[in-house]
Each structure stands twice: as C-alpha cells, then as structure tokens.
Amino acid sequence: MDEIERKFLIKNLPDLSSIQAVKYERYYLFVGNSIELRIQRKNDEYELERKVATGDLSRTSQFCQLSFEEFELLKKLSSRAIIRDAYQISELPDVSIKIYHGDYEGLVRAEFEFSSEAEANAFIPPDWCSIEITKSDLGRDSRLMNLTRDNFLQILNDLK
C-alpha cells in the first residue's frame, strides 16, 4: 500500500461531532534507514506495520495482524507511546484529523493523502489549516517519539 501525504496544523477545527473517532495506541520498535517498524492498537484491532520511504512525500506500508497477547509483549520493547484519536473527514480525497493525548497533548493535525506526488505538490490546503508540518518533527509519529515534552511544546509553540 502506497501512502503520499501532506500534514498541517489546524487553525480552526472543523465540527467532528458526527464522526466516530478511531483510538490509536502506537509503539515504535525500529526507526532508521528509511524504515519504520511499529505496532499499534486501532480500537480493538492489533497490528504490526512496516513502512519504507519511497519518495519525498511517499512511503509503502505492509501490515500483519497481531493478537492482544503479541501486542502486549511487543510494546514492552518501546519506551514511549503515541496516543491519539483519528477522525476520517472524507475518503476522496482522503482527509483525516489527528488529535494527540498524553505526552503530545496539544498537537492537532490534518493529514491529506494523494494518489501521486505531483497531486500532493499542487495541493492548496483549506482555510481551516495552518502551517505545513509534513517534514517537521511534528509531521511523523516516529519523530515525535524522540522529543521530550519540553522540546515538543517548544516546537509546537514556535510554529503557532
């Protein structure tokens, strides 16, 4: 599965009251050499995901389902968790809003997925979006994991 994304901070949160949130609990097992290996719980489903960078804005993903017991065992290999709620705003185009909790409380970002890098590069975000964070430490969960709470808050405040 290919993924081509751009991510933005949100200036004015759209009404999410009619959208069911997907609850994420995510742990990273390995990050390096353009590869990420992570486990996550999405509501009551558990999976192992491998992501590989294939371009400036694109990555491929492979998934493997896990049992609850496998998930609980593997999460012990990670030092921190990413906890967030995801709201699917639309599917064509694929637009979602991620609201973070815990160590990353205060981060609210919009993610837009595209069918090509050319389409992504030509995209003009809606007016409820703020600054683009695709390539910043706030644009990827694997980069968030490396930030202390103070570093995270400093970067977030500098961008607002």
Which H/E stretch holds residue 154? helix 149-159
Sign of CA dihedral 115, 64, 23, 54: negative
> Which of these, 2, 61, 5, 64, lies nearest to 35 by C-alpha position?
61
Active-site entry in 28, 46, 100, 104: 28
d(CA 36, CA 71): 17
Residues 156 and 147 sit within 8 Å (Cβ to Cβ): no
Q: Is 100 known to be catalytic?
A: no
> Which residues are marked as active site?
28
